[in-house]
Amino acid sequence: MTKIQPPLAGKTVLLVEDDPMLVPLLQMVLEEVGAKVLATQNPTDALELLEEKAPLDVLVTDIVLPERSGFLLAADVAKRYPGIRVLFISGFGDPEIGARDLHLEFDTLLKPFHPEDFTAKVVSLARRKK
């Protein structure tokens, strides 16, 4: 009998969210579908994590973060990981407006959202070809 692999098995997701209540929840949701999750609450730590870890398949980032925006973080990550796919999450307006000038593959999700919708977006991004 063949064991079915979780949809994000073998995938690494960098999660950057400044809400300390949301980080463990989103991390748990991603791990339940097989992802290896690198989680942090600020962009500086996120970039430091990338120095230590590889590979990276998907960046999930809030837009409003301390120190720099999720858009700037995504641009920095894309320099190190060309072809990175990004999910912008935000509770403040339409994230697509600010992301349109970025030259990377992205999707968006407005807070509050259902865990199933979050998972579906990340899985969809992870499955896209680079």
* pLDDT tens track for 101-127: 677 788 989 999 999 999 999 999 999
66-87 residues labelled b (16+ CB within 10 A) or e (exposed): eeebbbebbbbbbeebeebbbb
53: pLDDT strictly greater than 70:
no
Cα dihedral sign, 40-87-56-30: positive
User: Has residue 120 been placed in a domain?
Assistant: yes
User: Has residue 73 been placed in a domain?
Assistant: yes
User: Has residue 118 been placed in a domain?
Assistant: yes
- Give the DSSP letter of residue 69: -
User: Has residue 44 been placed in a domain?
Assistant: yes
- CA 21/CA 8 separation, integer angstroms: 23
Residues 6+ apart with CB under 8 A from 38: 12, 13, 14, 15, 46, 49, 53, 56
User: Has residue 15 been placed in a domain?
Assistant: no
User: Could you tell me the residue range of the domain that residue 45 belongs to?
Assistant: 32-127
- CATH number of the domain within which 49 lies: 3.40.50.2300
Q: Specify the DSSP element, H or E, that contains 122.
A: helix 115-127
Please give the share of the chain, as a percent, with pLDDT higher than 70.
90
User: Has residue 22 been placed in a domain?
Assistant: no
User: Has residue 17 been placed in a domain?
Assistant: no
pLDDT the model gives residue 38: 95
The pTM score is 0.92
User: Has residue 42 been placed in a domain?
Assistant: yes
Name the domain count of the chain. 1
pLDDT the model gives residue 13: 97
